[in-house]
Amino acid sequence: MKLYNTLTRKKEEFVPLNAGKIKMYVCGPTVYDYIHIGNARPYVIFDTIRRYFEYKGYDVDYVQNFTDVDDKIIKKANSEGVESKVISERYIKEALKDAEGLNVKPATKNPKVTEEMDHIIEMIQTLIDKGHAYVSDGTVFFDTGSFPDYGKLSGKNIDELLAGARIEVDSNKKSPTDFVLWKPKKPGEPAWQSPWGEGRPGWHIECSVMAKRYLGDTIDIHAGGEDLIFPHHENEIAQSEAANGVPFAKYWLHNGFINIDNINEQIQG
């Protein structure tokens, strides 16, 4: 079987890291509402690839997260006057129901951000200890300048990104391309204790942590919508490879957008 690998920009013969086994991670939805057709597409596409591997006799470990800590969830919770958990649990249930309706096989594991906080804090601490992250006024940033491979997935380079960066409003960052690993609590938001004060994680770190915890430091396939290539997957690579010191994923697969009446449905998260 040949797969188009976004990382190498080539169709490559699939060779598993371990004979007979495949470790596959697919970025899942942010559960602030019902899933939409743009979420349904990766569900169906990567389920089809998984089923083909299983048909060929592979044992596939298939992990797909639910992002249950997010601005949109908090906003909806505040507008309904309930806790964030009420919103996220409601739409996780609906997403699972819709996946079943699409005849998508259940994942081996659906980790949630709220249940991985200790591991998220641990990886951020590792990145700080290894000199890849820094604390600035209660926020922890990934230091993109410390990771020479930054941009290898999306084909962007730091100089171009810097030239294209808008005037930086966040003066706590060393560089405009640095991104948030942990942010301090704001009033009315859920928060967790951390060595850097009460707060919550940035979006990208969860996938690095969940992939490591449930699949290992190096996985066969990492997948998601093409809108996730930059910055989300680029940042996942930086976090995982800086923390673990080994390549993160061998094959990076991305589905295209659904085009309906020439309008791109491009929101995957």
What residues from 49 to 78 belong to the interface with Zn ion (CB under 5 A)?
Answer: none
Sign of CA dihedral 128, 134, 140, 143: negative
- The site that binds Zn ion (CB under 5 A) totals a number of residues, namely 2
Q: Tell me how far, at minimum, the Cβ of 211 lies from Zn ion, in Å.
A: 8
Q: List the structure tokens of 69.
A: 């800590």
Does 238 help bind Zn ion (rule: CB under 5 A)?
no
In the block, tokens 């990145």 appear at 127
| Tokens standing for residue 155 | 């084909």
Q: Closer CB to Zn ion, residue 5 or residue 65?
A: 65
- Report the residue number, 77 or 207, with the smaller CB distance to Zn ion: 207
Beta carbon of residue 232, minimum distance to Zn ion (angstroms, whole number): 5
Q: Which is nearer to Zn ion, 151 or 225 (CB)?
A: 225
Q: How far is the CB of 134 from Zn ion (least distance, A)?
A: 23
Closest contact distance (angstroms) between CB of 83 and Zn ion is 24
CA dist., res. 170 & res. 229, Å (int): 24
Give dist(CA 242, CA 134) in Å, integer: 13
Helix spans in 67-182 (H): 71-80, 84-101, 117-129, 158-164
Q: Packing angle between helix 37-55 and helix 84-101, nearest 10 degrees? A: 50
- Per-residue binding letters, 205-234, with Zn ion (x by CB under 5 A): --x---------------------------
For residues 83 and 106, give the distance between their C-alpha atoms in angstroms, rounded to a whole number.
Answer: 27
Which string of x and - marks every residue 23-42 that binds Zn ion (by CB under 5 A)? ----x---------------
- Any idea which residue has 């000199």 for tokens? 131
Q: Which is nearer to Zn ion, 63 or 99 (CB)?
A: 63
Piece of the chain touching Zn ion by CB under 5 A; list 3-11, 89-97, 134-142, 201-209: 201-209
**Residue with the CB atom nearest Zn ion in the bound state:** 207
Give the nearest distance from C-beta 52 to Zn ion in angstroms.
23
Give the bridge partners for 189, in sequence order. Answer: none
DSSP 8-class letter at 174: S
Residue 242 phi/psi, 5° resolution? -70, -40
Applying CB under 5 A, which part among 8-16, 19-27, 30-38, 49-57 lies near Zn ion?
19-27
Interacting span for Zn ion (CB under 5 A) from 50-58, 155-163, 189-197, 202-210 = 202-210
Q: Which of 119, 143, 172, 160 is nearest to 242 (CA)?
A: 143
Contacting residues toward Zn ion, per CB under 5 A? 27, 207
